[in-house]
Amino acid sequence: MKETKYVRRTFLQKYLKLVYLLAGSGTLLSLKSNAAKKQPANKTVPQDDPKNPCDDLSKVSADEIAKRKKLAYVNQSPVEDNQCGNCNLFIPAPDKPCGACLLFKGPVSPAGHCAYWAPINE
């Protein structure tokens, strides 16, 4: 009968591998849980009471929102003289701070701008 010898080196190697495996998985789990804690909570602003009525897109379809993005619409024009308020495509709304546009649906700020700005012909 062959007698099995337990070699200390083999035992220590197996034991250290197990310790490294457990410590590594524990570290990964703690990093994952810390990352989840550090992410800011998504604050939702109710669409019924927006700060700026020109930002209220609650009644606008996803396709129209995509069209606005495609046309590079922004609420504040980066170009001083090229604003929606002096664009030929802008439709002013009486007694309201926001108007509309011929290119897409939804509220449009008179101070806004898009890629298709056209000067008013007088």
Shared-domain flag, residues 25 and 57:
no
Asked if residue 114 belongs to a domain, the reply is no
Shared-domain flag, residues 33 and 62:
no
Identify the pLDDT of residue 62.
92
Asked if residue 118 belongs to a domain, the reply is no
Identify the pLDDT of residue 2.
65
Shared-domain flag, residues 31 and 61:
no
Shared-domain flag, residues 57 and 34:
no
Asked if residue 109 belongs to a domain, the reply is no
Asked if residue 48 belongs to a domain, the reply is no
Asked if residue 79 belongs to a domain, the reply is yes
Q: Which domain holds residue 18?
A: 1-39
- Residue-by-residue pLDDT tens, the chain, 122 positions: 566 666 788 877 888 787 777 777 777 777 766 655 555 544 444 444 457 788 888 889 999 999 999 999 999 999 888 999 999 999 999 888 899 999 999 999 999 999 998 988 86
Q: How far apart are the first and last CA of the chain?
A: 110
Count up the domains in the chain and report the number.
2
Quote the tokens at residue 107: 């509220």
Q: Which residues contact residue 70 at a Cβ distance below 8 angstroms, ignoring those fewer than 6 apart?
A: none
Shared-domain flag, residues 35 and 68:
no
CB 113 within 8 A of CB 83: yes
Identify the pLDDT of residue 33.
66
Identify the pLDDT of residue 46.
44
Asked if residue 112 belongs to a domain, the reply is no
Asked if residue 6 belongs to a domain, the reply is yes
Identify the pLDDT of residue 44.
42
Residue 90 forms beta bridges with which residues? 101
